Amino acid sequence: MFMKLFFGLLILFNFTPQIVHSTENNQALFLEKARDPLGNDISGDKQLGVVKDTLSKPFVVSVRDRDNNPAKNIALFFKVLNDEEAVCIPPIVYTDEKGYAKTKITPGDRSGEFILECELIRDPSKRLIFTYNIFNRRWMYLLIIQLIGGFAIFFFGFRVAGKGLTKSAGGSLRELLFRFTKNRFLGLVSGVIITFLLQSSTAASVMLVSFITSGLILFINALSVALGTAIGTTLTVQLIAFKIYNYSLLIIGVGFLLNNFKRPVRYYGQFILGFGLIFFGIKIMGEAFLPLNMSGSLEQFFVTFKEHPSLVFLISTIFTALVHSSAATIGIVISLSFQGIIGLEHALPVILGANLGTSTTALIVSIRGSRDAKMYALGNFFFKLITVLIFLPIVGFWSNLFQKTASTVARQIANSHTFFNLILAVIFLPIIGPIGKLLDKVVPRERKELKKGPRFLDKSIIDNPAAAIAHAHREILRMADVVLDMFSRSMEVFKRNDKDLMRDIIKEDDEVDNLEEEINDYLTSISQEELTEYQSKRVASLFFVTDELEHIGDIVSKSLMVYAGKKIQQGFVFSDEGFSEIIGFHKKVKENFKLAISALTTYDKSLAGKLTDERKVGVATHIKLHNAHIDRLKRGLSETIETSTIHLDFINDLERVNFHISNIGYAILGKVGTKP
């Protein structure tokens, strides 16, 4: 008030002519922010500046009379209301012949949003308010850091939320795929559920590739799941589109609190914590773009992009392929829309690029996979490419259409993303069969080559325990097939006295030993991850099964083949009755081995129960055959006497093999180490 009185007296005593001129007219005056003859704002309002540096543009006020004519020599007073260190140069200004009054601002050393007030000295009730934003001198550097940090928190939130729900789901992901992929529609539903649990369609697709490579799922069944994964990621985007980032810290707090409870509440807390981080990252990124938005730089940037949607699409595709998440790409776009920086017409090419980009990761992963995995990845890419070809050429039309689906740009973006992928499912779900046949013709068939070492142990997915356990399971099944082949062919060595076959079987045991070492290393790596109780039990049982299979392989190569070598070298001949008993016992044990592999394939507890019952049968058979051999010895049969040691060791080792086979049943039942 003192300053106003001082400047008023100063004007009265020193600038009387101007005051007289304005008061003689004594007509109503109107203040407004200046515009040029074309109607463009030239007032300098909402400027962007740096601390202690005079703003580049002046603040301009236009004074006009009731006839809309410019009023000259009218005194105006300028003052910054919330920055005492800011200086107006000058604070009192007279209008020129065009009715304009201009002043420049030198801000203080504080950053933030500030208010400049301009009032008519002759009538202080008439005033205008300007705003301007002041930033730190290194604001561009800080903007980059804020963007990187915001994106890191945002993406980390996806991983935390996905792991939380995956752990709470236990081992049900694989069972869900087994049950649902037999039907197209149910496969679609399973894709939606799994993608929402993993919080990434890319992660779901990579997991499917690994399951297909492992032989757990047929590629034709996985194609419907791929359509579901595309829809599943839109659920995450829909949640992001709700403007709840102002409560992100509260959500993080709740998630952190629940994370300290016992399972499964702990896993739900991890999911909530992850979602809070997602929204907090959005908030940080949106605020980071604010300075550029105020300066008008982004507006011109997006106007240029609007004219080149294909370029935007290409950039979005590459970016999504690099970050492995379409939801992350679209989440960034939504964060920009929250700040009013980007419109729907700019976002549509980004959405299409994100959809295509997320399928490229599965393509890359499938290069080292089976032919079925390649066909699945190519089919998934084909689905997304068709969507792009449908929507990209006419983004303007779709933009006008989707603007009617919601009142906010964020919701329009989320709705358009959902619509794209629903259309994708509607088009391709009914014709998955013909597409599968087409892919079968396009993708070249592979040569069947014997590959040494593990085939299914993918170390790149260790941080996804559900998928990694499935891979280990598949490799153990392959190991079981190798050991069964050794055991089956061992009898042929005795029947034909085949030295070459004996050597092949012994060499095959080297492969079994190598597989055991690789599988155990892989399972050890999995066990070092944070596992659910279900996953921990599964890993423990797989360790046990691997050990049992290795024992069986050793019995075949280091015991049975040693007996075969002695028989061949010394020309021993079993008695017809005795050899017939051995063949029968071997056949029974082989049937139990096949039963064990069947039970292991699906972890069927009913089959596992039957398998454990065979332990007593094996012991009883061993006793029976042992007594029969002793009876023949008493009768003095020459063949029985010559082969007595080999015969007794042989049936003893067959019982040992049966024992280890029945242990697999106990492992499947979760009774590792249980005694009969």
**Any idea which of 33-37, 98-102, 446-450, 619-623 has the lowest mean pLDDT?**
446-450
As a whole number of Å, the end-to-end CA separation of the chain is 98
Based on its alpha-carbon atoms, the radius of gyration of the chain, rounded to whole angstroms, reads: 39
With a cut of 90, say whether residue 360 has pLDDT above it.
no
- pLDDT: which is higher, 468 or 296: 468
pLDDT at res. 632: 72
Identify the bridge partners of residue 135 per DSSP, sorted by sequence position. Answer: 50
Whole-angstrom Cα distance, residue 103 to residue 97?
Answer: 16
DSSP 529: S
Model confidence band, residue 341 (pLDDT cutoffs 50, 70, 90) = confident
- At residue 602, the pLDDT reads 81
pLDDT of residue 99: 93
- Residue 14 confidence (pLDDT): 40
CATH class of 2-136: mainly beta
Is the Cβ–Cβ distance between 122 and 139 less than 8 Å?
A: no
Q: Which two tokens stand for residue 228?
A: 């579901």
- Average pLDDT on 278-288 reads 79
* Averaged pLDDT for residues 506-535: 88
Mean pLDDT of 246-250: 86
Q: Considering the chain, what percentage of its residues have pLDDT values greater than 70?
A: 83
Q: What is the 3-state secondary structure (H, E, C) of 108-134?
A: CCCCEEEEEEEEECCEEEEEEEEEEEE
* Pick from 72-81, 240-249, 635-644: least confident: 635-644
Banded model confidence at residue 3, pLDDT cuts 50, 70, 90: very low
> Exposed, middle or buried, 216 (CB in 10 Å: 0-12/13-18/19+)?
buried
Residues forming a β-bridge with 75: 94
Residues 319, 328 contacting (CB under 8 angstroms)? no
Asked whether residue 17 carries a pLDDT value surpassing 80, the answer given is no
Alpha carbons 389 and 353: distance in angstroms, whole number: 11
Q: Do 95 and 66 meet the contact criterion of CB atoms below 8 Å apart? A: no
Query: Can you give the pLDDT at residue 447?
Result: 55
Mean pLDDT of 495-523: 89
Q: Residue 485: how many CB atoms within 10 A of its CB? A: 13
Quote the pLDDT of residue 573.
Answer: 73
Q: For residues 634 and 106, which has the higher predicted lDDT (pLDDT)? A: 106
Q: Mean pLDDT in the chain?
A: 80
Domain extent listing, the chain? 2-136, 143-442, 462-668
Torsion (CA) 546, 548, 553, 558 in degrees, nearest 10? 130
Average pLDDT of the segment spanning 414-440: 87
Distance CA 464, CA 467 (A): 6
- Give per-residue pLDDT as tens, 222-234: 788 888 888 888 8
Q: What is the pLDDT of residue 497?
A: 85
Is 412 a residue whose pLDDT tops 80? yes
Question: Does the domain spanning 462-668 belong to CATH 1.20.58.220?
Answer: yes
For 42-99, list the strands marked E by DSSP: 47-50, 59-65, 75-80, 87-89, 92-94
340-352: average pLDDT: 83
Q: DSSP secondary structure string, 245-268?
A: GGGHHHHHHHHHHHTTS-TTHHHH
- Contact between 59 and 104 (Cβ < 8 Å): yes
**Mean pLDDT (whole number) for 113-137:** 90
Where would I find the beta strands (DSSP E) of 81-230?
A: 87-89, 92-94, 100-106, 112-120, 123-135
pLDDT of residue 198: 65
Residue 10 is predicted with a pLDDT of 45
Give the least confident one: 181-195, 210-224, 294-308, 352-366.
Answer: 294-308
The residue-averaged pLDDT of 330-357 equals: 82
